[in-house]
Amino acid sequence: MELTIFATILSFIIVLLIGPIVIPLLKIFKFGQNIREEGPKSHLKKAGTPTMGGLMFIISLIISVLALSSKMSSALWIALITTVGYGFIGLLDDSLKIIRKQNLGLRAYQKLIGQITFALILSIYAYNNPDIGSMVHIPYTTKFIDLGSFYIPFMVFVVVGTTNAVNLTDGLDGLAASVTLIICVFFAIVTYGLKRQDLSLFCGALAGGLLGFLKYNAYPAQVFMGDTGSLALGGAISALAILLKMPFIIVIVGVIYVVETLSVIIQVISFKLTKKRVFKMAPLHHHYEQLGWHETKIVAWFSIFTAIFCLIGFLAISF
């Protein structure tokens, strides 16, 4: 556990130190956020706020893991590769948005190809790893089921779905970072309980990076994580769940990711079928904004619900 704590502290310090360097650089190169015209009008004042801030906790994660891991396990490597890989997709997406000066980066099919590629790498690794294979844990039981030939396509669906869900959650100052920080702490405790020091170190480093990032991303945000950060976080959470043979746990501890995604799906289906909207605006956090809730209140409540569901998630695991 000591290494996990050291990784958390080191990653936290790294982000605090590089923040005053990275943020001004993003401003100099005019890497400012373009705000969606169809989004809340109150967000228009955020236009120009530096984006791609996710680079800060990705950098701190890489440095902390490489510096403190005496021997990089294959699982640790694949978790790092998945996180950085998805971060790279997000970086390309953010870069194109800035170049085009509009909230449109990679085309949907281009982003999907990249996401599926890294999801396949992770899924094939897990499937061929004798310690993982095609077995997955059933929450609240001691049982595992063998997905057999359905394992790889199902895991690709899990990874791509999770990364896009985290991306949808990243819509308010500090929201995605706060929710994912709590989930990282959950996985840090789980990996420690399962004696997976390698992945526990990874969780600690990511949690520390997010904790430091919140110093700059909490309301009013000095920097946004962008798709660079949100896709990287989705990749990291997916990798942890799959490497621990617990993909279903994401639905429990990542309840905010789930409801944010469902709100968008419900809104789209309802409008196409009935021309009526269920929510004032989707994703769900914008609905509460339209009801008059302040960003900080929404972030606080979503974080509280995440913490509660993480506690419920502990009950689903047999150490």
E strands within the chain?
135-137, 144-146
How far, in Å, CA of 13 to CA of 54, rounded?
Answer: 15
Rg (CA), the chain: 19
Spacing of C-alpha 236 from chain mean position: 7
* Backbone CA torsion sign across 164, 69, 313, 297: negative
Cα 257 to Cα 10, 189, 234, distances in angstroms = 28, 20, 10
For 87, the token pair is 């971060």
DSSP three-state, residue 80: helix
Q: What is the 3-state secondary structure (H, E, C) of 98-153?
A: HHHCCCCCCCHHHHHHHHHHHHHHHHHHHHHCCCCCCEEECCCCCCEEECHHHHHH
Enter the tokens of residue 85. Answer: 């890989």
Q: From the annotation, which residues make up the binding site?
A: 167, 227
> Could you give the C-alpha distances from 146 to 132, 154, 202, in angstroms and in order?
10, 12, 27
The rounded distance, in Å, linking the Cα atoms of 175 and 213 is 12
Binding positions for Mg(2+) are: 167, 227
Cα separation, 40 vs 46, whole angstroms: 11
Q: If 0-12 CB within 10 Å is exposed, 13-18 middle and 19+ buried, where does residue 78 land?
A: buried
Which residue(s) pair with 135 in the sheet?
Answer: 146
